[in-house]
């Protein structure tokens, strides 16, 4: 049991302490008659309502993900991760073929949690299985956030507000519809970790923190961030030292030992992303410390400032009122801002998965704090503003952001599938032997991934062009070959090593000529 003192029951929590026992009274339910009864019924059944909403959310997004897949609107990364699970289910743990410098995804990052999903995938070895698993797991993030808000605010209404914010969070929506990304599970695990942190249950906190690190290694920075938060809260040494050492230790172990052990070269993906800072981690750190103007020139760009606006405006900038909670995710935010690749500083990809939990927690805590601070205010309108006005404004702006920032559901609903194109794609895929080594363009990848050798054509910074033609077949959508790669494509077409099997619509299938 921790020896640190708890705040008196009458005290409102501050940034330095989390309440062990909720002290706030619930916001009053509607005041009269039938509405009072409805409000009381909702409060009594709030958790059940959140669970029901979670199921509904999962169903909607599972259907949306399947629709997006079958419209050929998902990219090659989904095929990569299906090859990982398909190979693992057949005993070839984490085996992949499209990276060149590694034959294991563990040479890209340590994704233990993803590998643990392989037995479920093995029961139903389909791409849709992956998407449904991802959506189902990610949807449950509303539950720990609900519990956090209810514990901190003392009211089920606070919990319901928190759950609504989670469901409406565009970074969450985009992440779970961006192919298959195990970071989305990390979002949920980090929320549970922080819930147990607030409950002062050290073992469960560390367990969920470690599980989060097993989704992607950079989650170790977040666990260390919670250690710093514990230091600022003046918690006992276990809460400070253990997450800090475990988090940073896992990052170093992964980057310096585990990932290199599975690679033919010492460089790995992060070296490519941050190479503008230097060729080695030491050189990158030196640049960060000695050339602040150079770094600022690359970080303080209009696009990256717009990214910060997209994160904070739907939350009314309320996370800034709880800066110590935001500090937990700051290492990941800085990694995103230091990247030159737009996908890292856009809410439309999955790289916000370790940031959004703490923005949401900080938002909910800030709302509750402001309500407490205005509870006894004069005039009356100020008290009503804190109690009802701010939550209503937050809900309104968050829901409006679905339109002005374009929820992925709106994008899907307003985009028309090209049924002729889809039919052509299926017809061409059917011509490729199921066990053949295949090079494929982006949106074809998820539909041809259950094979031992799959390559991305024509290649990019992630998937090396040097092995783009290693397949025995090339199946290409001409629309997906960039202008810069047209010379490679023409060279293949003109090569005596390849023959055209057939063409249909936008697609072409080539077969390697056997000597």
* 221 within domain boundaries: yes
Going by C-alpha positions, the residue among 249, 12, 40, 351 that lies closest to residue 152 is 12
- Domain edge (last residue) among 386, 413, 440: 413
Tracing tokens 């909702």 back to the chain, one arrives at 42
CB–CB of 367/394 below 8 Å?
Answer: yes
Strands (E) across 418-472 are located at 438-440, 454-456
Spatial distance between the Cα atoms of 477 and 428, rounded to a whole number of angstroms? 10
More confident residue, 51 or 28: 51
> Is 19 inside any structural domain?
no
pLDDT for position 37 = 74
Same domain, 423 and 407: no
Q: Is the pTM of this model over 0.85?
A: yes
For residues 23 and 295, which has the higher predicted lDDT (pLDDT)?
Answer: 295
Q: Over the stretch 43-100, which tens digit does the pLDDT of each residue have? A: 889 999 999 999 999 999 999 999 999 999 999 999 999 999 999 999 999 999 999 8
pLDDT of the residue at 40: 79
pLDDT tens readout for residues 104-158: 999 999 999 999 999 999 999 999 999 999 999 999 999 999 999 999 998 899 9
pLDDT above 60 (res 231): yes
Buried/exposed code over 106-120 (b: 16+ C-beta within 10 A; e: otherwise): bbbbbbebbbebbee
Q: Which of 370, 392, 413 is the last residue of a domain?
A: 413
Question: 392, 413, 434 — which closes off a domain?
Answer: 413
Q: Given a cut of 90, is residue 27 above it in pLDDT?
A: no
pLDDT the model gives residue 42: 81
Mean pLDDT of the chain: 91
Secondary structure (DSSP) of 69-122: HHTT---HHHHHHHHHHHHHHTT-TTB-SSSSS-SBGGGT---HHHHHTHHHHH
Shared domain for 352 and 428, answered yes or no, is: no
Predicted confidence at residue 17, as pLDDT, reads: 45
Do 403 and 428 fall within a single domain? Answer: no
Q: For residues 363 and 451, state if they share a domain.
A: no
Cite the DSSP H helix spans in 313-413. Answer: 323-338, 356-374, 380-384, 390-404, 408-413
Task: Decide if pLDDT at 103 tops 80.
Answer: yes
- Whether 360 and 469 map to the same domain: the answer is no
Whether residue 242 lies inside any domain: the answer is yes
Average pLDDT over residues 17-21: 46
- 364 & 300 share domain: yes
425 shares its domain with 402: no
**Which residues have CB under 8 Å from 384's CB, separation 6+?**
none
The answer to whether residue 12 is domain-embedded is no
Query: Does residue 91 lie in a domain region?
Result: no
Half-sphere exposure of 15 (CA within 13 A, CB side): 14
Looking at the structure, do residues 409 and 423 belong to the same domain, yes or no? Answer: no
Residue 192 has pLDDT above 80, yes or no: yes
Per residue in 429-446, pLDDT (tens digit) is: 999 999 999 999 999 999
Confidence at residue 267, expressed as pLDDT on a 0 to 100 scale: 63
**Domain annotation covers residue 85:** no
Number of domains into which the chain is organized:
2
Q: Are residues 405 and 452 in the same domain?
A: no
Q: State whether 382 and 425 are in the same domain.
A: no
- 233 burial level (CB within 10 Å; 0-12, 13-18, 19+): middle
CB 157 within 8 A of CB 26: yes
Segments forming the whole domain that contains residue 384: 44-63+96-413
CA distance 118 to 93: 9
Alpha-carbon 437 to chain mean position: 31
Residue 21 inside a domain? The answer is: no
Residues 404 and 265 in one domain: yes
Q: Is residue 4 part of a domain?
A: no
Residues 438 and 405 in one domain: no
């Amino acid at each position: 049991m921790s020896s640190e003192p708890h705040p008196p029951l009458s005290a409102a929590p501050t940034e330095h302490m989390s309440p062990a026992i909720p002290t706030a009274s619930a916001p009053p339910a509607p005041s009269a008659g039938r509405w009072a009864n409805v409000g009381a019924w909702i409060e009594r059944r709030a958790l059940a309502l959140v669970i029901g909403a979670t199921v509904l959310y999962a169903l909607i997004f599972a259907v949306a993900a399947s629709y997006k897949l079958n419209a050929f609107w998902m990219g090659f990364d989904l095929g990569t991760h299906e090859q990982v699970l398909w190979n693992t289910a057949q005993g070839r743990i984490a085996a992949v073929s499209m990276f060149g410098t590694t034959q294991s995804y563990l040479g890209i990052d340590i994704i233990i949690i993803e590998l643990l999903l392989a037995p479920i995938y093995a029961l139903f070895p389909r791409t849709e299985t992956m998407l449904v698993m991802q959506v189902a797991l990610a949807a449950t993030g509303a539950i720990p956030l609900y519990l956090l808000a209810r514990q901190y605010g003392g009211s089920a209404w606070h919990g319901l507000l928190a759950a609504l914010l989670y469901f409406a969070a565009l970074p969450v929506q985009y992440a779970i519809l961006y192919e298959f990304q195990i970071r989305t599970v990390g979002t949920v695990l980090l929320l549970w970790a922080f819930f147990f942190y607030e409950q002062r249950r050290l073992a469960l906190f560390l367990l969920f923190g470690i599980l989060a690190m097993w989704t992607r290694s950079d989650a170790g920075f977040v666990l260390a961030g919670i250690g710093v938060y514990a230091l600022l809260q003046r918690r006992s040494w276990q809460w400070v030292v253990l997450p800090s050492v475990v988090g940073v230790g896992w990052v170093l172990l992964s980057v310096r030992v585990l990932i290199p052990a599975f690679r033919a070269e010492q460089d790995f993906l992060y070296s490519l992303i941050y190479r503008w800072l230097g060729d080695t981690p030491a050189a990158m750190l030196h640049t960060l410390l000695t050339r602040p103007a150079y770094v600022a020139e690359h970080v303080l760009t209009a696009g990256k400032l717009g990214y910060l606006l997209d994160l904070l405006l739907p939350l009314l900038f309320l996370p800034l009122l709880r800066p110590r909670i935001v500090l937990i995710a700051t290492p990941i935010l800085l990694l995103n801002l230091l990247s030159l690749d737009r996908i890292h500083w856009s809410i439309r990809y999955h790289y916000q998965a370790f940031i959004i939990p703490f923005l949401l927690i900080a938002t909910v805590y800030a709302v509750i704090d402001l309500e407490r601070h205005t509870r006894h205010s004069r005039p009356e309108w100020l008290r009503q503003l804190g109690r009802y006005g701010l939550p209503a404004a937050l809900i309104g702006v968050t829901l409006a952001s679905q339109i002005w920032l374009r929820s992925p559901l709106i994008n899907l609903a307003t985009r028309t599938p090209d049924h002729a194109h889809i039919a052509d794609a299926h017809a061409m895929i059917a011509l490729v032997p199921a066990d053949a080594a295949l090079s494929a363009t982006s949106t074809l990848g998820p539909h041809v991934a259950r094979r031992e050798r799959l390559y991305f054509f024509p290649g990019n910074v992630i998937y090396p062009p040097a092995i783009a033609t290693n397949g025995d077949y090339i199946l290409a959508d001409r629309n997906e070959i960039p202008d810069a790669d047209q010379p490679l494509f023409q060279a293949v077409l003109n090569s005596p090593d390849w023959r055209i099997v057939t063409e249909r619509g936008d697609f072409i299938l080539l077969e390697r000529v056997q000597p």
